């Protein structure tokens, strides 16, 4: 397949205040392949943005065998489905982001948008609804009714299609867990970029949820995430980049990409005192259990 032209990117990440906008050197390849279960490859970043083909080529070269392309609005959801149609190693997640739900609701467009997400979720390359959830950091009091309504609608869509759900939870731990307890979590629910502590990790995994750890688990100030790791059964751990965001140490601030997953996987293995290859095999099996085979 041809490389999508740069102008097919739907968004450009702000580079303001960031010093080094070059992509980091690739890490040592993993012996056991894993997957990046949450990234946004439609967002161009850095001085010389990588196209989708190059992103996937670099990932495969270091043992990252596939990615789940997450979405936050209709344009990115359609982009994710198209990317997953073209590439065997891309699966799609579709959703209206919790911070966009209030904007859609204000325009009276939320129901139609959710109907389109529901229709896209029927596509065989769409293996998750995501990212959905609650964000009390960026959305104020007035936007919350729309956020809750959208979150519950996405839960229903995931259940109806029997696919996974990727949760975005920012400063809303109690309310996200409360919603899942109240309406019932889809069978395969993933806390994308898990941001809670050990107690929350225990509560979420007891409900059967998976916790996906991103590059911020390597940050100095993220002891809560490392504590959470220790409280998470190995069969509930997933790994992601959330690229182009959350670049793992020692490259914080530079563009992130799926080929940097080995840094985060090795940091998790070393924190847990387990062999990186064994952890990789476990995490890959967890990923396939949630999203199905990448092909
Ligand atoms: Zn994301």
CA of 222 to the centre of ligand 1 (A): 18
Domains identified in the chain, total number: 1
> To which H or E segment does residue 131 belong?
strand 126-135
CA of 25 to the centre of ligand 1 (A): 23
CA of 40 to the centre of ligand 1 (A): 6
- Tell whether 15 is covered by a domain: no
Q: Which stretches in the chain have pLDDT values below 70?
A: 1-8
Q: Tell me, what's the pLDDT at 10? A: 86
Range of the domain at 101: 32-291
Residue 36 and residue 120: Cα distance in Å, rounded?
21
Q: Tell me, what's the pLDDT at 8? A: 66
Residue 56 and residue 87: Cα distance in Å, rounded?
9
- Tell whether 212 is covered by a domain: yes
Q: Tell me, what's the pLDDT at 3? A: 52
CA of 164 to the centre of ligand 1 (A): 15
CA of 137 to the centre of ligand 1 (A): 15
- Tell whether 3 is covered by a domain: no
CA distances from 273 to 5, 129, 189 (A): 43, 33, 26
- Tell whether 116 is covered by a domain: yes
pTM of the model: 0.96
- Tell whether 147 is covered by a domain: yes
CA of 240 to the centre of ligand 1 (A): 9
CA of 167 to the centre of ligand 1 (A): 9
- Tell whether 14 is covered by a domain: no
CA of 131 to the centre of ligand 1 (A): 7
First CA to last CA distance, the chain: 15
CA of 271 to the centre of ligand 1 (A): 24
Q: Tell me, what's the pLDDT at 7? A: 53
Q: Tell me, what's the pLDDT at 1? A: 43
Residue labelled with tokens 């997450």: 70
Residues 6+ apart with CB under 8 A from 91: 66, 67, 68, 69, 84, 125, 126, 127, 128, 291, 292, 294
Q: Tell me, what's the pLDDT at 20? A: 94
CA of 168 to the centre of ligand 1 (A): 7
CA of 132 to the centre of ligand 1 (A): 10
- Tell whether 2 is covered by a domain: no
- Tell whether 20 is covered by a domain: no
Q: Tell me, what's the pLDDT at 9? A: 84
**CATH label of the domain that carries residue 246:** 3.20.20.140
- What would the two tokens of residue 293 be? 């085979």
In the chain, which ranges are continuous DSSP H helix?
52-61, 74-86, 101-106, 110-120, 144-161, 173-183, 198-206, 223-230, 261-272, 276-291
């Amino acid at each position: 397949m041809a490389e999508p032209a740069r102008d097919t990117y739907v968004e450009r990440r702000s580079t303001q205040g960031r010093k080094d906008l070059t992509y980091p050197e690739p890490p040592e390849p993993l012996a056991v392949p894993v997957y990046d279960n949450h990234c946004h490859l439609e967002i161009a970043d850095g001085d010389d943005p990588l196209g989708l083909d190059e992103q996937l080529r670099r990932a495969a070269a270091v043992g990252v065998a596939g990615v789940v392309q997450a979405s936050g609005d209709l344009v990115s959801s359609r982009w994710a489905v198209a990317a997953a149609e073209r590439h065997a190693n891309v699966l799609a997640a579709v959703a209206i982001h919790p911070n966009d739900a209030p904007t859609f609701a204000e325009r009276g467009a939320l129901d139609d948008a959710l109907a389109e997400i529901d229709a896209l979720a029927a596509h065989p390359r769409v293996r998750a609804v995501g990212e959905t959830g609650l964000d009390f950091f960026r959305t104020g009091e007035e936007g919350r009714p729309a956020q809750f309504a959208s979150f519950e609608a996405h839960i229903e869509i995931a259940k109806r299609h029997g696919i996974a759900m990727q949760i975005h939870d920012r400063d809303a731990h109690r309310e996200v867990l409360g919603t899942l307890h109240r309406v019932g979590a889809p069978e395969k629910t993933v806390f994308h970029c898990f941001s809670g502590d050990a107690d929350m990790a225990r509560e979420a995994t007891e409900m059967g949820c998976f916790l996906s750890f991103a590059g911020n688990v390597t940050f100095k100030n993220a002891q809560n995430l490392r504590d959470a790791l220790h409280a998470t059964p190995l069969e509930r751990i997933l790994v992601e980049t959330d690229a182009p965001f959350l670049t793992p140490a020692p490259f914080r601030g530079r563009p992130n990409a799926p080929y940097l997953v080995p840094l985060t996987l090795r940091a998790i293995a070393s924190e847990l005192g387990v062999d990186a290859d064994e952890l990789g095999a476990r995490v890959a099996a967890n990923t396939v259990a949630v999203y199905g085979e990448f092909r």
